[in-house]
Structure 1
Amino acid sequence: MRKLIRPNAPNFLTEKLQIELGERYKKNREKNKGHQFNYWHTEKVGESTLYKEIRNKLIEISDDHCFYCDGYPPLSDDDTIDHFKPKSKPEFYDLVCSWENLYLACGHCQKAKGSEYNDLILRPDEINYEFDKFFKYDSDNDEVIVNLGADDLSQLRAEKTIEVFDFNHVGLKKLRGFFRKVYSQDPQININDLGYRFCLNFQQTI
């Protein structure tokens, strides 16, 4: 999970619109549990849709990498928008279009996280988030592991985050190893053209 800086909401996603869409979804969902959120596909921003424009802004923040695992390049089911606080849970209905709750996510992270939410889960755009504060990178096994030098709460948050996103799935480990090899062979390559950028400068961290 690479540190990201989230700018203020884009001008087209006004606070008024965020509240309006959240209230509309909450009202409809409370009436009908099967109600689907599709407002941002019908809400227009010029010739585009609200969904496409939000997605484009999220892509700018991470250079089209998954906000969670930093996977790249995107596949056909990637570059989707995840609701960090799931829109399926009643307590979060009103956050369905809240800028701070929207994250660009790959298919793996979307599926692994599902509708799970826990206050312990780390966000890459938290003000005090830094990879080294919570995690270590085991370059021998291409695994993201808990920083055992961190305080107890930080270790717990790291452990929960690794679990929720299944960061050490065999496929992710193999891909990290591949991109590290590419980077080691050509360290002048644009790092944004590679996946899992947080692991590229590590040789051994445990």
Structure 2
Amino acid sequence: MDARTKPIGATPVTATALPRPTREEAEAAVRTLIAWAGDDPTREGLLETPARVAKAYGEFYSGYEQDAGVVLSKTFKEVGGYDDIVLVRDIPFNSHCEHHMVPFVGKAHIAYLPHDGVVGLSKLARLVEVFARRLQTQENLTAQIIDAINEHLGPRGAAVMLEAEHMCMSMRGVRAHGAATITHRFTGVFAEDRVEQDRFFGLIGKR
């Protein structure tokens, strides 16, 4: 099994079963897809498209080279005894569906109850990027984010909610434009206490 298919939270993901194709092989594959779509990869407007697509893929899937543990490695313990909910909402993200390799775009809401310090707020947005910039399902993305928070911050509880529109539904198939998919997961105190769940939903405006 290619390691890129495994839900890994702490380490960057690298291909182990199959060698990574060269840049030239990737560009050749793009030319094949262009021809399969019905166009001529040698015409002027498409000559540089394979190189552009290969470069874009490097950005779209840069999460395979990133480490969630590094992103969450630095915490701050001098917080004046603060131990209540820390929440960052409306974190924008875009990812690519692993079934059709088309985008899904949305926002993430992340909360946790600190146990031994807090992490920089921007790191939560960075954490979303680590996992979003891989081939994904929304369900798996939700789980990877909260698992990384639990593993590296050890909070008393965590909550993650993702809202996204999937282009595989709006651009093809049923073409359900504007349909939103919502996933969420609670751990620790959030999983055990309905009051904390309601507080989370209230803070993100979903109550």
TM-score category, normalised to shorter length:
under 0.3
Which is strand-richer, 1 or 2? 2
Q: Which has the bigger relative contact order, CA under 8 A and spacing at least 6?
A: 1
Larger Rg: 2
Q: If the length of structure 2 is used for normalisation, what is the TM-score?
A: 0.26
TM-score, normalised to structure 1's length? 0.26
